[in-house]
Structure 1
Amino acid sequence: MDAGYDPLFLGAAAPLPAGAAGTVRLAYPRFTVALDPDRRLAAVTAVNIDGATLRDLPRTGDWEFDARVPTAQQAGPEIYARNDLDRGHLVRRRDPGWGDPVTARIATEATFRYPNAAPQASGFNQSKELWLGLEDHVLEYADATDQRLSVFTAPVLADDDPPYRGIRIPLRFWKIAAWLSPAGLAAAGFILDQSDLIDTRTGAVTPPPLGGFRTFQVPVQRIAEVTGLDVGTLTDADVLGSQGVTAARPLEDPQDIVL
């Protein structure tokens, strides 16, 4: 059952981004997490989504350590206690929840493993809702083809991330969505910046100000540069590159997204 991410799921190769040294690959139903044991957070996650058979399942599952990895290498519950940090799903709960009901439920519950979590400032505003809804928007666009997506998400594990309770809290997160268009493999890259929400100097996390989350559509190559990852064919498939766009685009509304 824990076959992990399938790089040929789209019908065109979309390999798991590589290059994060020392990571531990953990396969789950329909998704894979490459855990950085030193940072205790994921360097890469990848999930296959079949939009045609997605199920709207009730939320079930509790956050647990992955028994395959020492707990000291996972950012566990102590990171999220008594503060304004959320356990942010990297692979979203609903993403692997497709196909027959039993398999779909097993897959969604598997997303509640600490290697698939990363600390994100709590609270919702337009920008964060846009971040969480990016895959839905791309999935709707992909409806014209076979409704399949491969999505890669992780924090940017920067050297200057602020220390907090034995880890360093990422200030930025990235996402690449890939799908098969009539012209071949297509991809779009995004970065969420939560820098304005995180201040750990006092041992606390600042409450989220209005508009604190900033979401950008960026060239896929830019994600490769800030993460040090090899994103392979996803750079050539970038929809921004095909339109000659080389700069980050701030997003305020789903209609701002270039697909």
Structure 2
Amino acid sequence: MATFAGYDDDFLGTTVPLPVPLSPAHATRLDYPHFSVLLMHERRLAGSTAVNIDGAALVEVPRSGEWHLDPRVPAALQAGAEVYRRNDLDRGHLVRRRDPGWGTDAVAATEATFAYPNAAPQVADFNQSPQLWLGLEDHVLTYADAHDHRVSVFTAPVLGADDPPYRGIRIPRRFWKVAAWVDAPGALRSAAFLLDQSDLLDGSSLLTADRARVSIAPLPPFLTFQVPAADVAALTGLDLGPLVRADVLSVPAARRPRWVALDTPDDITLV
């Protein structure tokens, strides 16, 4: 496998590190073209991912690539094909296929997003439907158009202790995303989001690992919230570094805004 530099901490002109756990944990950082994945050994899923997006250099790459294990880590540490076989779970990209697809590494980058460490289980109907969650990065990238077209995006499941078990893993109840960019005056800004699928999972019948199918009851769509980045840090136990201070929702703790449910892009706060 070729060696790539992965996520660049200084891509935005100010240092924004890959989020890592505040407490000691067994994890492996995996670098791909323009993005990196922090694979948590115990959960066999990503604890964080980070991608650099250069909107001015994006290349329209035909969809290609097949899901595969990353040979740099043991298969037993990855949630591979067996998790998704004969059920209604999709391999949900954490770093989206098109986001790292820019520059001379565009093809290699998009194909690298099909590595299993970059996947997390999502119910097929929702992963394949045009929910607001899927358009968040497009909206932020459009907003950043006037600021050099550069955005860094961090995404992963919230690896909660109460996530329901299934086939040797636990299916995440929530996913988080933080987008970061530099505004016209040159200040780092960030916006944080949570996708909550608790109602879906609590209303589901997840069968044991030796059964053929996962049966999912019909439920409302995923709920997407814009939240303070500090809340994402608290929920995940990750060090988000400067992303917390740069949050567009930053206010004194006593006046911290409540989580805002998002229905349309107009509900998103970016200034």
- TM-score, length basis structure 1: 0.94
Is 1:256–2:267 an aligned residue pair?
A: yes
Q: Find runs of 4+ consecutive structure 1 residues off by over 4 angstroms.
A: 125-128, 242-245
| 8 Å Cα contact 1:22-1:36 kept in structure 2 | yes
- 1:82-128 deviation line (CA, Å, top 9, x unaligned): 1111100001000100113xx20011001110000000111149996
Please, which runs of 5 or more residues in structure 2 have no aligned partner?
A: none
TM-superposed deviation, 1:211: 2.6
| 8 Å Cα contact 1:196-1:212 kept in structure 2 | no
TM-superposed deviation, 1:209: 3.0
Secondary structure at 2:193 match in 1: strand
Secondary structure at 2:72 match in 1: coil
Secondary structure at 2:141 match in 1: helix
Aligned mates of 1:136, 1:242 — CA distance in 2: 26
Aligned mates of 2:42, 2:95 — CA distance in 1: 21
- 1:48-105 deviation line (CA, Å, top 9, x unaligned): 00001111211100000000110010000110111111100001000100113xx200
Correspondence list, 1:45-60, <5 A? 45-60=49-64
Secondary structure at 1:241 match in 2: coil
| 8 Å Cα contact 1:42-1:154 kept in structure 2 | yes
Query: Corresponding residue for 1:157?
Result: 159
Identity of aligned residues (%): 61
Secondary structure at 1:239 match in 2: coil
Query: Corresponding residue for 1:42?
Result: 46
* Residue among 6, 9, 13 paired with 2:8: 6
Secondary structure at 2:134 match in 1: helix
Letter in 1 for 2:229: V
Please, which runs of 5 or more residues in structure 1 have no aligned partner?
A: none
TM-superposed deviation, 1:41: 0.2
Query: Corresponding residue for 1:121?
Result: 123
| 8 Å Cα contact 1:127-1:214 kept in structure 2 | no
Query: Corresponding residue for 2:207?
Result: 202
Alignment RMSD, CA only? 1.9
Letter in 2 for 1:196: D
| 8 Å Cα contact 1:7-1:13 kept in structure 2 | yes
* Residue among 47, 62, 65 paired with 2:69: 65
Aligned mates of 1:141, 1:242 — CA distance in 2: 22
* Residue among 189, 192, 200 paired with 2:192: 189
Letter in 2 for 1:187: S
- TM-score, length basis structure 2: 0.90
Correspondence list, 1:90-105, <5 A? 90-100=94-104, 103-105=105-107
Aligned mates of 1:200, 1:169 — CA distance in 2: 12
Is 1:74–2:93 an aligned residue pair?
A: no
Aligned mates of 1:249, 1:206 — CA distance in 2: 30
Aligned length: 257
